[in-house]
Structure 1
């Protein structure tokens, strides 16, 4: 019984150490940025959502239509939902979100399509395979915060 307890405890510690390692690893890197003036498509893993390139295997999200663009409101909605803005350009905003438990860093990107009057959104985890729906929830929280402003 004592050996079983030690083995179980060891396995739990190994799993926790792995999650802590992923948390540290997620602090390196940055948002992908624009490629050919568009957001980067999501990899074929369920830890990313992108309105610009829908993927049948991933949750579908829509961009945000607008009539009058207000960058200050977009910036405020990002900070209201816990994001830290890292890049602001004419038609692109990048931010990071950090989880509270293992301090995972996720990238959040916005591309403003002035021609179509559409705000494209992308939220992706830097590490791991699945995000358990966190990025989709982040996009929805951002949309709600922006709508309230």
Structure 2
């Protein structure tokens, strides 16, 4: 089965993580959308039927980073949330995407 978010390239400007939750997929998806919004994207496209979303974040008023999320039912019940945060250009992002993913999970915790 293909991955629900794109793989990262072989550069340090991308962070891709998955976490499993005991909550139902729809509940995790709603909380994930709220967490994305908390991080103030410049745009966000959602696909409720596939429980996925793509958001764009501006960095240093110049660069855009893309964040993809997808929530899938877990094999053991509950849900698995997949997130990928990546720079569109450059090689290194000085840890920006890794920090964004950590902030996303902190924001997500507030919406459960």
TMscore range, shorter length: 0.7 to 0.9
Distance in 2 of aligned mates of 1:66 and 1:126? 33
Provide the residue aligned with 2:89 in structure 1. Answer: 127
Report the TM-score when normalising by structure 1: 0.62
Provide the residue aligned with 2:55 in structure 1. Answer: 95
Report the TM-score when normalising by structure 2: 0.80
Q: Is the 8 A contact 1:85 1:94 kept in 2?
A: yes
Which runs of 5 or more structure 2 residues have no equivalent in the other structure? none
Summarize deviations over 1:57-78 as a string: whole Å, max 9, x none: xxxxx42424233233221111
More strand per residue: 2
Distance in 2 of aligned mates of 1:66 and 1:93? 21
Provide the residue aligned with 2:36 in structure 1. Answer: 78
Summarize deviations over 1:58-112 as a string: whole Å, max 9, x none: xxxx42424233233221111111223123242321111112x242110001121
RMSD: 1.9
* Bigger radius of gyration: 1
Provide the residue aligned with 2:70 in structure 1. Answer: 111
Asked which structure has the greater RCO (Cα within 8 Å, sep 6+), the reply is: 2
Distance in 2 of aligned mates of 1:96 and 1:64? 24
